[in-house]
Chain A
Amino acid sequence: NAGVTQTPKFQVLKTGQSMTLQCAQDMNHEYMSWYRQDPGMGLRLIHYSVGAGITDQGEVPNGYNVSRSTTEDFPLRLLSAAPSQTSVYFCASSYSGVRNTEAFFGQGTRLTVV
């Protein structure tokens, strides 16, 4: 019973490098989202998707891209990493908002940009 799987768990990048954070869920959830968690800031929404082929921006989308080609996967791409993107990233999924059900979170990716 995997739930939401994020890879990698840890990553160190140099400024200017690009990378993709992977997120996969096996619960057939329509809704998926990416958050970043910084000390004292709680969780802030980066991007979200309400279904395959549909994505939208959250509160802090700059510097990040997403795509949703399948129901299961929702990768987050950092285009050109900056030290301000040092954070812990969480992927979450849930049934559609119409039912407003609970969100299931992955274990997080701790990213350091040097």
Chain B
Amino acid sequence: SQQGEEDPQALSIQEGENATMNCSYKTSINNLQWYRQNSGRGLVHLILIRSNEREKHSGRLRVTLDTSKKSSSLLITASRAADTASYFCATGDGANSKLTFGKGITLSVRP
């Protein structure tokens, strides 16, 4: 069963706007990761946040983690048409290396 549940399932925004995607999970984690998948391609790692971190930045990406609420958010600022893709959160428990993925969010950025 999926550990992470992303919200919303689909998001459509205008180029230049910010995109916020949320992920909730059920059990304790060691880290949480976000991945991007372009249509017909494999997944590409975006950012990893550890359970003892609250916020992390990477370029136009900002991820937050609230372990008390078992939730994370991914913010993409100043979105571009090239950001159109599916985004997945994945949780790692640290015990045996397994990553558990959510069902993903489809982001469409209109030019």
Contacts and interface: CB of A to CB of B under 8 A. Distances in A.
Interface residues on B, range: 20 to 34
A100 B98 CA distance: 9
Given A42-B103, A43-B101, A106-B42, A50 B48 contact: no
Contacts of B102: 42
Interface in A65-114: 90, 92, 94, 96-98, 100-108
Nearest to A40: B103
A100 B30 contact: yes
A45 B42 contact: no
B22 to A, nearest CB: 15
Interface stretch (B13-21, B68-76, B87-95): B87-95
Interface of A: 4, 31, 33, 35, 40-45, 48, 50, 56, 58-59, 90, 92, 94, 96-98, 100-108
